[in-house]
Each structure stands twice: as C-alpha cells, then as structure tokens.
C-alpha cells in the first residue's frame, strides 16, 4: 500500500534534500518529498502517525480507485501532480489514437511538475521538451493544448499559469 501525507507548511526547495535525508533516516518507508506552493507532500509505503506534527493536514491511501478526467484536473489544480499523473495514466491505458497521445502529453506535464516539486530543474525541462514532441489534439476537454504548448515553448510557462488555465 502507498500513502501520501499532506502538510500545510511550504518547504523551500533549497531545504528539500536535507529534510528528505533527515526524514528517510528516521522512516525508511518514505520514498518521496514534494514541495508545492501551499503544501508539502510526503509519500510512504507504510502508514505513519504524523498527528504529532503541528502542520499535518491529512493523508490519503492510494488504491485502485477509478478516476475520471475531471478528477485528474482537480488534482492538478491542487498541485497534487503525482496523484494527477496516476489518475490520468489510468485513463490513458484505456484510450487509443490521438486521445492516447494527448493524455500522454498531459501526463508528461504532470511528471515534469513532480520533478519541479522535487527541485530537479534539469529533469523538469527535459520532460517538458519531450512532451512537446508528442502529437496531440489542439484542444482536449477543458485544456487548450495548442496554447499550452506555445506557453511551454516560450519559456514563460510555470505551475501558476498551468493551474490558472485549468480553472
């Protein structure tokens, strides 16, 4: 089983690696720490009692839940990109053709943001560059893919603009 714990405190990316090393030395089951604008996520293979920490918000238990596209969008708006990736990947598996490649593009954008939340800037850029090579619809449901690709190419693209375009 996998768990994601949410904390109200934002951790600076410059502190992320040190905090991650400190936490994983105490809890071997923790495998990731992601820093969003308004929260921090910790992923674990075991259930851990974090209730003693002041800014602990809640946790989710990842299972084989059935997701919709709107679930994926909602998760992206909340900067929960790792979960959004998982939700959209489930839809991607059952799609084909241009819809499948469009979903792959959106999933790769989520993947890029997961790397950004880890402070892995070069991987973020590499994943975005690879996403741009994917043939997609110009628009897919509530996302203007053509505009999104243009923003990514221009270099002004970031999490804020992406989330704003989804609302």
Domain 2-62 sits in CATH 3.30.430: no
Best-predicted range by mean pLDDT among 45-49, 62-66, 155-159?
A: 45-49
Cα dist. 153→77, 132, 147, 149 in Å? 21, 8, 10, 6
Output the pLDDT for position 60: 80
Tell me where in the chain the CATH 1.10.3450.10 domain(s) lie.
69-166
Higher-confidence residue: 1 or 45? 45
**What mean pLDDT comes out for the span 40-56?**
79
Q: Is the pLDDT of residue 164 over 60?
A: no
Output the pLDDT for position 69: 94
Number of Cβ within a 10 Å radius of residue 35 = 21
- Name the superfamily (CATH) of residues 69-166: TTHA0068-like (1.10.3450.10)
The strand pairing partners of 40, in sequence order, are 7, 35
Give 40's contacts (C-beta < 8 A, 6+ positions apart): 6, 7, 9, 10, 11, 33, 34
* Structure letter (DSSP) for residue 38: S
Tell me where in the chain the CATH 3.30.70 domain(s) lie.
2-62
Q: Is the pLDDT of residue 165 over 60?
A: no
Q: What is the mean pLDDT of the chain?
A: 87
Cα dist. 117→139, 141, 146 in Å? 26, 26, 25
- 128 close to 156: Cβ distance less than 8 angstroms: no
């Amino acid at each position: 089983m996998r768990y994601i714990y949410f904390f109200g405190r934002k951790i600076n990316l410059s502190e992320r690696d040190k905090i991650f090393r400190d936490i994983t030395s105490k809890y071997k089951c923790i495998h990731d720490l992601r820093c969003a604008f308004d929260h921090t996520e910790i992923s674990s293979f075991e259930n851990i009692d974090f209730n003693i920490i002041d800014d602990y918000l809640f946790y989710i238990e990842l299972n084989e839940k059935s997701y919709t596209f709107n679930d994926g969008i909602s998760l992206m708006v909340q900067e929960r990109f790792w979960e959004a990736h998982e939700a959209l990947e489930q839809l991607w598996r059952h799609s084909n053709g241009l819809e499948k490649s469009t979903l792959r593009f959106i999933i790769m954008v989520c993947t890029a943001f997961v790397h950004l939340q880890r402070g892995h800037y070069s991987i973020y850029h590499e994943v975005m560059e690879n996403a741009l090579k994917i043939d997609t619809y110009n628009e897919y449901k509530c996302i203007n893919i053509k505009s999104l690709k243009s923003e990514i190419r221009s270099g002004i693209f970031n999490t804020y603009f992406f989330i704003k375009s989804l609302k």
